[in-house]
Every structure is written in structure tokens, then in C-alpha cells.
Chain A
Amino acid sequence: MSLTAPRATATGSGDGAGVDDRSPPPGRPAGRLRAGWLVAGVVAVVAAAVAGIALGPVDLPLAGVVLELLDRLPLVDLPSGLSDRDVAILWQLRVPRVSLGLLVGAMLATAGAGYQGVFRNPLADPFLLGIAAGAGVGATLAIVYGASTSGGVIDPLPLAAFAGALLGVAATYALSRSVTGDRSAVSLILAGVAVAAFFTAIQTFVQMRNADSIRRVYAWLFGSLATTGWHDVALILPYVGASALVLVAHRRLLDVLGVGDREAVALGVPVTRVRVVVVIAASLGTAAAVAVSGLIGFVGIIVPHTVRLLAGWSYRSVLPLSLLFGGAFMVATDLIARLALAPAEVPIGVVTAFLGAPFFVVVLRHRGGS
């Protein structure tokens, strides 16, 4: 008796050949990252960066900007024609700020994708899970009560933020599990919102007791990429780099987690170990980003979901592309923040919330019920 004779169905051609010529050639996973998207991501980063460097309260000539940047490459010597003042603005203000934006945006987007993968929750994001708020408290306490950032071998600031971030994610997870019965995606987010509100209240209190200006508190609560010099970039680069590397390396495992814990274990994945590693890596990177730029929300939702819409469901695409498009997105929104009410700056968290809240509602309606 034939083993492989299926009942004839209306659709199959029965000859075993793939019929859809939009699909990848037979024998290759549909979920893999396509080179075209990778190129698009790089182009987005470069375009956003150049725009972010050139535009601002003082507009720098575009050609001059490009030449000045290229001039920095080894073995390249191109006079850019920019004035000394413009060169100073470029290298001391613009490029550091854009670099910070790329790092922070890449980190928040990738961390968001990572949390969505391990919690199997499309609404997970460092901001909404109370992780960013926890990091904020840690960083604030370190600034107010701890050592200053200019002493010692290792700056305690990102590490204090990391401790706060871990406390935040642990509190959110424990709270959502203790609320009996409701296993939907929404319960984790509700717990995260509660934890975030609590930590933000603590942070605001500490800051107001110790700050002489409400403006600084305000700037922190809505985030800011304003930076002078390279200190902040150098501070967070190793953490963001390590975190992003670990997260992208776990892309295949996050796809496997998509079938649920029980099936994933049966397929051979050490589920708890993977969850812990990804959460720690994502929280470390998030903490570093929050430590220097404050609370910038919704990036971890907007970017990964847009990437999924465009490039597919697999984390093999979503993680690396969130890294690239997250950086570009952050620089682009920072540009809006700087230019919308120029010469005043709109806090960047306001811009991302403005874009992100409606986006969040769309995702909630589409997927939050599962």
C-alpha cells in the first residue's frame, strides 16, 4: 500500500514541486533574512545619520558634511570647506548626538524584539514592561547618592541602571504570574504598566528632592539625546554592543520558542535558560540606553512590528533589521524633535509617544487578544 498517497485536494498539484514563484527556491527556509532588506537597513541608517548631522538649528551644507565625514576615513584626505565653527558643531555636537541616537534606537528596538520573542507577547517593550523605569530608578539613585561618573575604573551608572532594570522585569513577571488565571498577552503588559508607574513615581520623587530644576526631571522623564562630546557614547557602546550581539545570536532560538514552552522543550530547547539569557542581555542594553538618554518609549514596539510587516515573522529578520531600522528611526525622530519647534527642542519621548500610542492601539486590537 502506498504510504505517501494523500487524498487529492483541490489545490495541490501533487507533483511535489513548489508552485509559487514568489517564494524562495525549494530547500531554503522562508524565514531567512533577505539581502535586500539588509541593504535597505544600511541605507536607512546612513541616510538618517547624514540628515541628522546636517540639519539642525544651524544647517550645515550637505556636501560639506559628507566630505568632512569621509575625510575621517584612513587614507582619505578631502578638504570639506566647512568653517572651524561648523566642524566643531559637527564633531562635538551632531555626530555624537546622532551616534547616541543610533545606539539607543538600535538597542531599544532590538530589546523590544527580544522581549516579544521570549514572552511570546507582541506588546512587550522595555518601556511597557517596567524595565526602562526600573533602570531609570537605578540610574537616578546612582547619580544622586552614588559615586560620580568621573572616578573609578568602571562607571557604576550603567550597572546601577542594570540592577534597576532586572528588578523591574522580575517585578513585572512575578506580578503577572501571581494574577491568577489571566494568561493573555495583556496581563503581562498591565503588570508592566503598574511596575513602570511605581518606579517612575519613585524616580520623580528622588529627582525632585535633589534637583533644583523641574526642567531636568522633565527632560529625563521624556528622554533626550542631547549630548556634548563622546563621553555618553563611549560609556554605553560596550553594553549595547554586547547586548545586541547576544540578542541577534539567539534569533533562531526565539523562532523555536514561538511554538510554546512545552513543544520547545520537546524539540530540544532549554527554554528557561534561553529566557534568562535573553532577558538579561536585553535588560543590560536597555539599562545602558536609559542611563544616558532617559525614558524613551514605544521604540521597542513601533520598529519590530513594522519590520515584521515588511520583512516577515521570523526573528532571523526581525532582530537584525530592528537593530538597523531602530537606529535610523531614533535619529529621524530626534530630527523631528529638534526641528519641530526650533529653536526649542521637543523631548524625544513626546515624539515617540505621539507616533507610538496609536501604533500600540493598532497592535493591541490586532493581536492583543491572544
Chain B
Amino acid sequence: MGRAGHPVDGPAELALAQVHVAYGGHVAVDGVTLRVRTGSWTALIGPNGAGKTSLLHAVTGAVPATGAVTVNDADLLGAHPRRRARHVALVPQRPVIPEAMTVYDYVLLGRTAHLSYLAVESAADLAVVSDVLERLGLGAFTHRSVQSLSGGEQQRVVLARALAQQTPVLLLDEPTSALDIGHRQHVLELVDGLRRECDLTVLAAMHDLTLAAQYADRLVLLDGGRIAADGTPADVLTRRRIVDHFDADVHVITAPDGGLALIPARRARPEHG
């Protein structure tokens, strides 16, 4: 059994080919093809309703999809949910927190994919959970109910559950939406550090374009279910593109450490006082 976070079967590449998702007549994802190289971080960006969440759900199997989703060339779409969950783990945007469930039991849910249908957890599974809780600084909360924690703490707990799955691919759906600036940085630094250490392949839907530019190696811009741009942050984040796809005007500047940042371009302010 590998250490917490470390994929049991080693690092892997995620590839999507012509993935198509439709809900009752409405096409959410329209033929998306992309590849996330082993150990890299790809951010899915795009306006609301672009299909980012639907795409992630297609990878986990939560919604029916056509096309191909492979991890190291192993097909996931036709696989049993348990096998799929050993290859990809999702940190959802709005996780359902069962009432009264403790942090320990919540993270233990992450071991589901490693247990056969009616089996109960083994000592090895419990060890993985303890390990993950320690490494994410959640040891003090082990027996607290998840609902009693703050937003930032809950986000770390949900991340812990995904890490307990020990998958080579980690999916995140808007991991920082509900967090303040400090917690945003902590969570993203945490994920980046784990990525480097465990060679995780990360695909994250991200609202904040500046943070996406800072942490991701590649950006994939989704609009109306289709890929509108795919490249490095410098390639994808142009003023023109932001205006076209987000209906927002920005200045794209280079931060002192070389990363990109987007500043909203306001209309001329009226004189105060």
C-alpha cells in the first residue's frame, strides 16, 4: 500500500478524446479532446455554464458521456466505477456533508474504491487515512464533525478524502471559490506541493484566472462546451480572448516573479467628493 497521496500504481497521464455530454437535449460538452501530461497541472477555465463541471463529471463517470477517457491508455468510460475511482479522484465544488459524520469517517470514504463490494476497511486502509490527516494538518479535527469546521478546514477535509483514494489523477472543481485569499493560497500551494511530491496529474476547473495562470502549466479555455484555446497561460490569456469569452475587460500584466496576472480594466472613475 503506497503512502498517503502516492498513487498505488504509479503516475499516469489523462487523455480525453471527443468527449460529449448531453443532458436532455442540452449539450454541455461538445467533443472535447485534451491531454494532461503526467505530473502536470492543467486548469480548465471558462465562463459559467461553459461545461467545466460537466467535463469533470464525465471523467468520474457521474454523468453519462460518449467518446474516450483514458488514464495511461486504459479506458475509463466503460470501466466499473470501482476501477475508475482508483484512477481518478474528484474534489467537488459543493460537497455533500452528511450530518454528524466525523472528519475521520469522511476521509475513510476515500478508501471505498480499494474495498470489494461488501468488504469492511482493513488496518491498512485506516493507516492511509491517518497518514493523510496528518499530512494535511487535520489531526486535531479527527473526531470533530465535518459540518462544525470552517470553510477552509472543510476544503482540506474534502481534499484529504480525494488523496485517500490514492489515484494518479486528481480532479478539482473550483477548489477555492468559497475561500478567502489566505486559504486559497494555502489550498493551492498544498495541491502543488503534493503534485510535485507524488507526481500527481492535476486537472482543475478554476474561476480565478490569475491563480490559474500562477499554478497551472497549461490552460484549456472552454466556452459553450467546446475548447476555444489550449496552451500555456501566456498563449491563452490575452485581453482579446477575455473580452470575447468572458465579456470582461482586463489588463494582462507580468508579475515580478514572471507569472501572469489579470487586473480588471475599469471605466474611468467619476470624480469623488
Contact = CB atoms under 8 A, between A and B. Distances in A.
A181 interface: no
B150 A9 contact: yes
A23 B143 contact: yes
A312 B140 contact: no
B215 interface: no
Contact of A263 (B95, B99, B194): B95
Interface in B136-151: 136-137, 139-143, 150
Contacts of B95: 259, 263
A260 B95 CA distance: 9
B79 to A, nearest CB: 10
Nearest to B114: A268
A266 interface: yes
B140 A16 contact: yes
B229 to A, nearest CB: 28
Contact of B62 (A24, A256, A266): A266
A153 interface: no
Interface residues of B, number: 62
Contact of B85 (A14, A260, A266, A313): A266
A312 B105 CA distance: 13
Interface in B85-106: 85-86, 88-90, 92, 95-102, 104-105
Contact of B134 (A7, A16, A258, A269): A16
A30 B156 CA distance: 19
Interface stretch (B7-15, B118-126, B254-262): B118-126
B201 to A, nearest CB: 16
Interface residues of A, number: 47
Contacts of A249: 118
A263 to B, nearest CB: 6
A56 B86 CA distance: 59
A27 interface: yes
B183 interface: yes
Contacts of B269: none
Nearest to B97: A259
Contacts of B110: 267
B210 interface: no
Interface string B171-206: 000000000001100100110011000000000000
Contacts of A27: 126-127, 129-130
B108 interface: yes
Nearest to B192: A3
Given A19-B140, A256-B109, A313-B101, A7 B183 contact: yes
A270 interface: yes
A11 B194 CA distance: 26
A183 B55 CA distance: 24
B251 interface: no
B135 A268 contact: no
Interface string A13-41: 11111111001101111110000000000
B57 A262 contact: yes
A269 B112 contact: yes
B92 A269 contact: no
A268 B142 contact: no
B191 to A, nearest CB: 10
A344 interface: no
A250 B112 CA distance: 13
Nearest to B89: A266
Contacts of B98: 255, 258-259, 313
Contacts of A19: 140
Contacts of B143: 18, 20, 23-24, 30
A314 B109 CA distance: 12
B233 interface: no
Contacts of B67: none
Contact of B100 (A256, A260, A267, A313): A313
Interface string B73-87: 000000011111110
B40 interface: no
A29 B121 contact: yes
- Candidate in B109, B121, B156 with the most chain A CB atoms within 10 angstroms: B109
A252 interface: yes
A35 B63 CA distance: 40
Contacts of A5: 137
Interface of A: 1, 3-7, 9, 11-20, 23-24, 26-31, 249-250, 252-253, 255-256, 258-263, 265-271, 312-314
19 contacts: A3-B190, A6-B153, A15-B139, A17-B140, A18-B139, A18-B142, A23-B102, A27-B127, A29-B105, A252-B119, A259-B109, A262-B60, A265-B61, A266-B62, A267-B113, A268-B82, A268-B84, A269-B81, A312-B100
Given A3-B190, A4-B137, A270-B80, 8 more contacts: A5-B137, A6-B153, A16-B139, A28-B126, A259-B109, A267-B109, A271-B81, A314-B105
